[in-house]
Amino acid sequence: MLLRPFNFHTPNSLESAVQAYGKLRDVKLQAGGTFLLNSLKTMKRKGVKTPQHIISLAHIPELRGIEDQGDCVVIKSMTNIDEIYDSPLLTGNLGVLRVAARNISSQLIRNMATLGGNLTCRYTWTEMPAVMVASRARMHFVGVDGKEEIVPAEDFFKNAAKTDKIFTHVSIKKDDGISFVYYRAKKSVHVDIPLLSLCVTTRLVKGKFSQTIVAVNNGVAFAQRDRKLEEFLNGKSPGKTLAETALEHLDAAIYDARGTDYKKYMFRVGIKHILRDLTEKHR
Ligand SMILES: Cc1cc2nc3c(=O)[nH]c(=O)nc-3n(C[C@H](O)[C@H](O)[C@H](O)COP(=O)(O)OP(=O)(O)OC[C@H]3O[C@@H](n4cnc5c(N)ncnc54)[C@H](O)[C@@H]3O)c2cc1C
């Protein structure tokens, strides 16, 4: 299906993108385009007005790449999912990004889809949001006034991932003392989008878990923390019965939200898997 005509803008600096974004009305940003172009077609099919202007972020060097900045790693918004999977800089606690990236869709999508698109597209099932929440990532934006805003990922997703700014990068602190586990369940064998995903980060202090974050993506709401499970895990030692006992300490509202019996069951399977993995890591 042909798209309705629009003006396609290709700024080659962040400054000119910000200027265009501030000046134009009826405008959308394009990153990899894997969701945007499809949603323009859907809008046309439904008879909904499509935007007159698209600003592509593809030719802005400031928005590409992964940088080691000493105590933290910065991942720019136009870095694609395959570049994340391939990056030698994502080690230690940052290795969780590579684990999540490896499982996202197909190679074709991973080559095009960007971290920025994954975090700001406002589809509740994409996987990087839970990873960012569990990694205490900070999300950086630039507004049309040129000012930078920094928002913890947890707050961004609590606010339903709304923004009228350009997302530029995430920064994540390096910390080899933090271990992680990640789990995702497929929705179906045909369309590889996740039914649910879970990401846990924790630190073992004197043989006990501490500062644990359990980030849950239930596909219905934006990524959120299960504080009840975190409270249960903190102070516990890795052990054989931990995974089973933990199931008694879930924030049921998160896992049962608009869920089928299968999905509720898969959440419990997922929790058991990741807590067993976590225990194995610390044996
Ligand atoms: C077939 C298919 C399967 C997929 N499977 C998975 C999966 O298994 N797991 C998973 O996590 N994801 C999956 N995805 C999602 C994919 O990883 C991308 O996140 C998604 O396609 C959007 O990325 P994009 O770069 O193409 O964004 P675009 O389509 O270009 O943009 C999406 C939206 O984000 C906004 N946006 C993009 N960048 C910025 C920015 N820098 N600042 C502000 N707003 C911005 C755009 O305006 C637009 O509204 C899948 C996608 C497809 C098409």
pLDDT at 248: 95
**Residue from 60, 109, 115, 123 to probe ligand 1 pocket by mutation (most atoms less than 8 Å from CB):** 109
Integer-rounded Cα Rg, in Å, for the chain is: 20
pLDDT at 77: 98
Residue 26 lies in a domain: yes
Residue appearing with tokens 């049309």: 144
Q: Is 238 in the pocket of ligand 1 (CB under 6 A)?
A: no
The two tokens of residue 112 are: 């095009």
Give the domain-ending residue among 138, 173, 208. Answer: 173
Measured from the Cβ of residue 67, the count of other Cβ atoms closer than 10 Å reads 13
Report yes or no: 179 and 187 within 8 Å, Cβ to Cβ. no
Residues 6+ away with beta carbon under 8 Å from 207: 237
Q: Is 124 in the pocket of ligand 1 (CB under 6 A)?
A: no
Give me the CATH number covering residue 201: 3.30.390.50
Query: Which atom of ligand 1 is found nearest the CA of 78?
Result: 41
Same domain, 254 and 267: yes
Task: Indicate the pTM of the whole model.
Answer: 0.97
Same domain, 68 and 100: yes
Proportion of the chain in helix, strand, coil states, percent, rounded to 5: 40, 25, 35
Same domain, 71 and 44: no
pLDDT at 165 over 90: yes
**Number of domains present in the structure of the chain:** 3
Residue nearest to atom 9 of ligand 1 (CA): 104
pLDDT at 191 over 70: no
The candidate with the shortest Cα–Cα distance to 234, out of 216, 211, 251, is 211
- Which whole number is the average pLDDT over 81-102? 97
Same domain, 169 and 188: no
State in Å: Cα 84 to ligand 1 middle: 14
Give me the CATH number covering residue 71: 3.30.465.10
pLDDT at 172: 98
- Which whole number is the average pLDDT over 183-193? 79
pLDDT at 121: 97
Q: Which residues pair with 95 in a beta bridge?
A: none
Q: With bands split at pLDDT 50, 70 and 90, how would you rate the model's confidence at 54?
A: very high
pLDDT at 283: 78
The two tokens of residue 173 are: 């602190």
Same domain, 155 and 82: yes
Residue nearest to atom 40 of ligand 1 (CA): 167
Q: With bands split at pLDDT 50, 70 and 90, how would you rate the model's confidence at 259?
A: confident
- Which whole number is the average pLDDT over 20-43? 96
Q: With bands split at pLDDT 50, 70 and 90, how would you rate the model's confidence at 174?
A: very high
- Which whole number is the average pLDDT over 76-105? 97
For 244-258, write each residue's pLDDT tens digit: 999 999 999 999 887
pLDDT at 192: 74
Residue 122 lies in a domain: yes
Residue nearest to atom 43 of ligand 1 (CA): 166
Same domain, 191 and 242: yes
Mean pLDDT across the chain, nearest whole number?
A: 95
pLDDT at 241 over 70: yes
Q: Is 116 in the pocket of ligand 1 (CB under 6 A)?
A: yes
Q: Is 36 in the pocket of ligand 1 (CB under 6 A)?
A: yes
- Which whole number is the average pLDDT over 66-74? 98
Residue 2 lies in a domain: no
Q: Rounded to whole angstroms, how far apart are CA atoms 247 and 268?
A: 7
Same domain, 139 and 183: no
- Which whole number is the average pLDDT over 122-136? 97
Residue nearest to atom 49 of ligand 1 (CA): 121
What is the side-by-side strand order in the sheet with 7-9? Answer: 7-9, 53-56, 27-30
Domain assignment of residue 98, given as a range = 64-173
